[in-house]
Amino acid sequence: MISLSLIIFSSQRNLAYEFTNLPDGEYTLAATMVIEEPLLLNAPAAPLVVHEITIVNGEAIVVDFSF
């Protein structure tokens, strides 16, 4: 199982997310914290590419991402 944290920077906020791949090959995404500066934490060996993010009621939803 791969677990990593990623800080996604936007003009309004810096959001930290934890991506975890599940045994069935699916991925989960959980917001972990809000910080003041953009940082990459626990970077994976291959870069994670976020293709699209949607913010709904203050909650970020990653629509598409890949390693």
The answer to whether residues 18 and 4 touch, using CB atoms and an 8 Å cutoff, is: yes
| 11-53 tens-digit pLDDT | 445 555 566 656 666 666 565 444 444 445 554 444 556 666 6
The pTM of this model reads 0.27
Q: Which of 19, 15, 55 is nearest to 35 (CA)?
A: 15
The string of DSSP letters for 2-58 reads -EEEEEEE-SS-EEEEEEEE-TTS-EEEEEEEEESS----S--SSPPEEEEEEEETT
Domain positions in the chain:
3-66
pLDDT at position 36: 45
| 57-66 tens-digit pLDDT | 666 666 665 6
Q: What's the CA gap between 46 and 60, in Å, rounded?
A: 23
